Amino acid sequence: MQQWFIHASLAYPFLVYGLIILFACAEGPILSIIFGILLKLGYFYFIPVYASLMVGDLIGDVGWYWIGRKFGHGFIHRFGKYFNITEDKVEKVTELFHRYKHSILFISKISNGFGFALITLMTAGMVRIPFARYLVINLSGQLIWTGLLLGVGFFFSQMYTTATNIFEQMTVVAGFVVLVVIFIGFSKYLRKRAGM
pLDDT score recorded for residue 66: 93
Distances (CA, A) of 16 to 5, 19, 28, 47, 93: 9, 5, 15, 14, 37
Question: What would the pLDDT profile of 132-184 be if each residue is shown by its tens digit?
Answer: 988 888 888 888 888 888 888 888 787 777 767 777 777 777 777 777 677 66
Could you give the number of structural domains in the chain?
1
DSSP state, residue 41: T
d(Cα 119, Cα 81) in Å, to the nearest integer? 12
Q: Identify the domain containing residue 46 by its residue range.
A: 2-193
Q: Which of 98, 86, 102 is nearest to 195 (CA)?
A: 86
pLDDT score recorded for residue 1: 47
Per-residue pLDDT for 120 more than 80?
yes
d(Cα 66, Cα 72) in Å, to the nearest integer? 9
Burial class (CB in 10 A: 0-12, 13-18, 19+), 10: exposed
pTM, entire model: 0.76
Average confidence score pLDDT of the chain: 78
